[in-house]
């Protein structure tokens, strides 16, 4: 069993890791994922008792609270932290003045510093005490060596050595850093929370002549709803009557209004900017485009990229190592310098404070999360950090032709005879192939029976006792049916009856208007090779793709041959494959990363692909590439920069160049630099 629990007041990545460890130690809890950015805990468990135990543990973990999953998200408030910092500063500033001015009893500034420490650090002390209580139930190094314990040791150690000002400064600066961290994470979380506004609060259900306001969750397939000007579309539906303009920016990222008439598909989240119209619900709200967008974005942080996994492992090893080094710094040098422990203990405290790995633990997942959110705003749904990381390394992009580079909407361009058209139309009506749509409106006196699909080649059927074959030239050749020489720029569907050629129909499929711009954009974003994998003949594929910057065309491929072609392309570098997400599932599985065109109504597209282009526009691909590369660049900047600055500060602390308050300032500064660098993801791409 699997459940998602919404929480609040968990803003620390290290705390999230600790909560995950505690949950996974519970009996019958198979797996726990704690997402401190989205404030969610995902549990996989075997018994109701295990779930109840997990809920109890979560509710008792530090200040974490479980919130109603259906309740609207409230704006985060940091009033308690701000009050604590303000009170602490109110004691610290006069204490600092008296400390430097002098001429007052020594106990007075010390008392003010203690009061400042208590106001800022009471929560830290409380957390450390709770962690020590937990140690009696289950000893874990992460409970003992968390940032709260390190800061408390540093502050208490400073007071014990007579450095009250530094002890108070440690806690005050630490709390300011924690507040700034929470605000930064909340800012990114707020960007994703804006997506929740895509959901409609209500819908107007039409029941005969009556209108009734209902929740979107109550709508069922087939219900008829009224959409007034200014209403959000509550569920994916089809326009029944009237014409109107819809603002689709929230879903597709396109700023222009879309003019829609009878029969047009409307996705949940569209905004009616024109006339009042009626529409028929096609899918319940939980299966709508909006629901899938929110689910993909909210679950994005559950898939961790290699840099994230590295940071998690690094922190587990790094923290005990630096604590061990701090102990050695405090104990070993005094043995050779006259047993003067005080300065070396202060140096060790500096070292401990500077070594805190917060900058890495927070900024790396925040960068990936921001990247996923940015793409969602541009109509590109990405399944998480792994997807972004892989996309940044893509060298080769391969495309399906029909429905991807072309519109996939075939129209009849001509036929050789009325009989051929009638036979083809009768057989194609039993097919879901894109070709079949071109024959839907064609009149035919025939009715096909026992229609069978011949993979990659066409259809066979029984019409009035005669065997009819409809499909490609290859199908005809397989059955030794002689065909006339034919040079056509269009797709051709041949027809044979009882082994004799009857005629053919030509189908036209136009190139997508954004195809050339998108492929050139991919080249500009760093893709070295663009290939097309098509089942069409080479001549027709070349004619259809004329003018596109395609480096390699592999035509005439059967469905089972496409994965082999993709595998060959993978040998030239990481492969991105773009298809319709339904017929191309095997190729998508073979590629390093797959993107599905449109298909928001298709579960197959969501499952098979790593990305979905919600706008059904190829222009999202270059944006995705640029975002992925920018994300990777910022992540590496944060990792390398944070480690380098930390190492330099630790060396300076050992040689005594940095006082304790400056060490805290340096630690907070590195963390803020990394977080601010991460927030650059929300800039222009």
Cα dihedral angle (57, 61, 64, 70), rounded to 10 degrees?
-10
Report the distance separating Cα 511 and Cα 8, nearest Å. 49
SS3 474: helix
CA pair distance 124, 236, nearest whole angstrom = 49
Edge to edge, the sheet with strand 500-508 lists 411-415, 500-508, 491-497, 466-471, 458-463, 449-454
Alpha carbon distance 458, 396 (integer Å)? 31
Cβ 275 vs Cβ 261: under 8 Å: no
Helix axes 164-193, 358-377, angle to 10 degrees: 20
Alpha-helix residue ranges (DSSP H) falling in 44-78? 48-59
DSSP 656-667: T-S-HHHHHHHH
- CB atoms < 10 A from the CB of 119, how many? 22
- Residue 247 among the catalytic residues: no
Provide the 10 A C-beta neighbour count for residue 87.
15
Q: Which residues contact 303 (CB under 8 A, 6 or more apart)?
A: 383, 384, 385, 386, 387
Decide: 475 and 494 in contact? Cβ < 8 Å.
yes
Q: Is 34 helix (H, G, I), strand (E, B) or coil?
A: strand
**Structure letter (DSSP) for residue 225:** E
Do 488 and 474 meet the contact criterion of CB atoms below 8 Å apart? no
Residues 6+ positions from 365 with CB-CB distance below 8 Å: 13, 37, 301, 304, 308, 385
CB 49 within 8 A of CB 28: yes
Residue 44: in which H helix or E strand, if any?
strand 40-45
**Of residues 400, 592, 610, 667, which has the active-site annotation?**
400
**230, 397, 575, 578 from 572: Cα distances, Å:** 50, 11, 8, 17
Judged by DSSP in three states, 449 sits in: strand
Across-strand partners of 568? none
Half-sphere exposure of 199 (CA within 13 A, CB side): 20
Tokens representing 668 are 């907070």
Query: What residues are paired with 449 via a beta bridge?
Result: 462
3-state secondary structure 380-448: EEECCHHHHHHHCCEEEEEEEHHHHHECCCCEEEEECCHHHHHHHHHHHCCCCCHHHHHHCCCCCCCCC
Quote the tokens at residue 283.
């899918």
Joined tokens for residue 230? 């200014």
Give the catalytic positions in this structure.
400
């Amino acid at each position: 069993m699997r459940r998602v629990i919404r929480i609040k007041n968990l803003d620390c990545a290290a705390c999230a890791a600790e909560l995950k460890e505690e949950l996974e130690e519970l009996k019958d809890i198979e797996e726990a994922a704690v997402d401190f950015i989205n404030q969610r805990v995902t549990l996989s468990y075997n018994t109701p008792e295990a779930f109840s135990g997990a809920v109890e543990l979560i509710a008792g973990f530090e200040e974490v609270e479980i919130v109603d999953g259906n309740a609207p998200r409230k704006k985060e408030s940091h009033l308690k932290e701000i009050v604590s910092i303000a009170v602490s500063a109110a004691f610290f500033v006069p204490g600092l003045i008296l400390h430097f001015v002098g001429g007052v009893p020594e106990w007075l500034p010390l008392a003010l510093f203690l009061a400042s420490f208590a106001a800022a650090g009471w929560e830290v002390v409380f957390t450390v005490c709770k962690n020590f209580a937990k140690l009696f139930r289950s000893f874990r190094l992460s409970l003992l060596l968390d940032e709260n314990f390190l800061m408390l040791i540093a502050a208490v150690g400073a007071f014990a050595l007579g450095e009250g000002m530094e002890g108070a400064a440690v806690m005050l600066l630490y709390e300011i850093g924690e507040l700034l961290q929470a605000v930064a994470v909340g800012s990114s979380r707020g960007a994703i929370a804006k997506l929740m506004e895509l959901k409609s609060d209500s819908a107007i259900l039409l029941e005969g002549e009556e209108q009734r306001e209902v929740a979107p969750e109550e709508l069922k397939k087939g219900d008829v709803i009224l959409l007034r000007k200014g209403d959000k579309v509550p569920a994916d539906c089809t326009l029944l009557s009237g014409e109107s303009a819809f603002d689709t920016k929230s879903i597709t990222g396109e700023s222009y209004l879309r003019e829609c008439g009878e029969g047009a598909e409307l996705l949940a989240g569209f905004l009616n900017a024109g006339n009042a119209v009626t529409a028929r619900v096609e899918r319940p709200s939980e299966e709508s485009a909006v629901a899938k967008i929110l689910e993909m974005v909210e679950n994005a942080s559950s898939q961790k990229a290699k840099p994230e996994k590295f940071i998690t492992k690094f922190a587990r090893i790094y923290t005990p190592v630096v604590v061990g080094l701090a102990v050695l710094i405090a104990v070993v040098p005094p043995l050779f310098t006259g047993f003067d422990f005080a300065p070396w203990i202060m140096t060790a405290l500096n070292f401990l404070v500077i070594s805190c790995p917060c900058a890495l633990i927070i900024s790396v997942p925040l960068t990936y999360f921001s990247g996923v959110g940015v793409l969602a705003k541009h109509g590109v749904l990405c399944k998480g950090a792994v997807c972004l990381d892989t996309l940044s390394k893509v060298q080769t992009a391969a495309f399906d032709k029909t429905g991807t580079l072309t519109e996939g909407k075939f129209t009849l361009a001509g036929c050789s005879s009325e009989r051929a058209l009638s036979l083809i139309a009768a057989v194609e009506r039993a097919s879901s192939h894109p070709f079949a749509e071109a024959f839907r409106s064609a009149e035919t006196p025939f009715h096909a029976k026992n229609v069978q699909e011949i993979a990659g080649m066409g259809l066979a059927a029984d019409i009035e006792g005669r065997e009819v074959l409809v499909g490609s030239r290859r199908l005809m050749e397989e059955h030794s049916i002689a065909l006339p020489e034919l040079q056509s720029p269009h797709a051709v569907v041949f027809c044979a009856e009882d082994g004799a050629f009857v005629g053919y129909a030509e189908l036209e499929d136009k190139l997508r208007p954004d195809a050339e711009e998108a492929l050139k954009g991919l080249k500009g974003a760093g893709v070295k090779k663009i290939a097309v994998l098509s089942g069409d003949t080479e001549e027709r594929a070349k004619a259809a793709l004329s003018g596109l910057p395609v480096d390699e065309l592999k035509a005439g491929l059967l469905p089972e041959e496409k994965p082999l072609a993709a595998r060959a392309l993978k040998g030239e570098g990481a492969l991105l494959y773009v298809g319709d997400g339904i017929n191309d599932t095997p190729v998508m599985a073979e590629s390093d990363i797959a993107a599905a065109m449109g298909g928001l109504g298709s579960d197959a597209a969501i499952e098979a692909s790593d990305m979905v282009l919600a706008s059904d526009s190829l222009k999202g691909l270059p944006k995705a590439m640029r975002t992925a590369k920018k994300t990777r660049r910022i992540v590496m900047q944060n990792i390398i920069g944070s480690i380098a600055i930390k190492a330099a500060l630790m060396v300076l602390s050992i040689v005594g160049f940095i006082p304790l308050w400056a060490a805290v300032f340096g630690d907070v500064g590195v963390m803020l630099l990394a977080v601010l660098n991460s927030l650059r993801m929300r800039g222009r791409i």
